[in-house]
Amino acid sequence: MTSNYSQQLQIFLDVATEAALAAGVILQENYRKLEHIEEKSRPGDLVTEADKQAEAEILKVLNRHVPHHQILAEESGKLGQTDSEYTWAIDPLDGTTNYAHGYPISAISIGLSIKGVPQVGVIYNPFRDELFRAARDLGASCNRRPIRVSQTEELSKSLLITGFAYDRRETTDNNYAEFCYLTHLTQGVRRSGSAALDLTDVACGRLDGYWERGLKPWDIVAGIVLLEEAGGKVTAYDGSPMDINSGRILATNGHIHPHLSKALIETPALSEWESGK
């Protein structure tokens, strides 16, 4: 990577940081003071005034610094120049259901892809005051201190995390079987309700692996950069290169990656698992 390109990424990283911190102030101001909580297209898929205000603040910062870039935002959709090679993926409040219930596990996620490849990521958890930052080949940090993935090598000794899509009530492709199966193969499987924070927890070594389906680019672009820069690995379930538009992700410390991939592929149907077949 050339020094000019690295300098450019550093500028974008600082822009994303400014936007995330500004949005964090809004989330803190609105916490446990919500007046309007709405459902989107599916039951349980919530949006609040805090989501909308935080996204507006992020858009204001990006429009001031990078007005010619394309933006993909959870609440506003596609904005800006659609032919730009720069695309920002924004989730102003990842973990809205947690936030709406007063459960303080939520974050702002701001990622930048260049020519379709995630290059910059900032995730900010205002409730723990943890600011995660990364840019391609520039490393990953939490509150300006470098972070690295764990060294766990065996699936049986790992602690994992996952989530469930909003349409889990409507489809059998809902992750329940994998959750049960991997709970028995590992030291445990957690669920936080925030894909962005799941990725940060793997990136900083608190957890060893993460998988999920039903995701959007704004859920994962920032986290992909963070995890890879922290020494982790991100692919599709089968270990092939990941498509950020596929909705599925397998992210680990690298050491357990082939083992977790194999387990996901071999997971029996829930009906078979329950009957002991």
CATH number, domain containing residue 217 = 3.40.190.80
Q: Check residue 2 and give its pLDDT.
A: 79
Confidence of residue 244 (pLDDT cuts 50, 70, 90): very high
Same domain, 250 and 131: no
Residue 71 near residue 54 (C-beta atoms within 8 A): no
Segment among 77-86, 201-210, 234-243 with least mean pLDDT: 77-86
Confidence of residue 201 (pLDDT cuts 50, 70, 90): very high
Residue 39 near residue 85 (C-beta atoms within 8 A): no
pLDDT digits (tens, 9 = 90+) for 160-189: 999 997 665 666 678 999 999 999 999 999
Beta bridge partners of 110: 90, 122
Same domain, 191 and 256: yes
Q: Check residue 215 and give its pLDDT.
A: 95
Same domain, 116 and 44: yes
Residue 45 in this model has a pLDDT that exceeds 60 = no
What average pLDDT does the segment 193-206 reach? 98
Sign of CA dihedral 79, 142, 186, 242: positive
Same domain, 63 and 192: no
Same domain, 18 and 122: yes
Burial class (CB in 10 A: 0-12, 13-18, 19+), 220: buried
Task: Fill in the DSSP letter of residue 41.
Answer: S
Confidence of residue 200 (pLDDT cuts 50, 70, 90): very high
Same domain, 167 and 255: yes
Q: Check residue 172 and give its pLDDT.
A: 64
Burial class (CB in 10 A: 0-12, 13-18, 19+), 138: middle
DSSP per residue, 236-255: -TTSSPPPTTSS-EEEE-SS
pLDDT digits (tens, 9 = 90+) for 4-39: 999 999 999 999 999 999 999 999 998 887 666 555
pTM of the model: 0.92
Segment among 23-37, 50-64, 192-206, 255-269 with least mean pLDDT: 23-37
- Among 176, 183, 266, smallest CA distance to 214 is for 176
Same domain, 9 and 124: yes
Range of the domain at 253: 155-275
Number of domains into which the chain is organized: 2
pLDDT digits (tens, 9 = 90+) for 1-11: 678 999 999 99
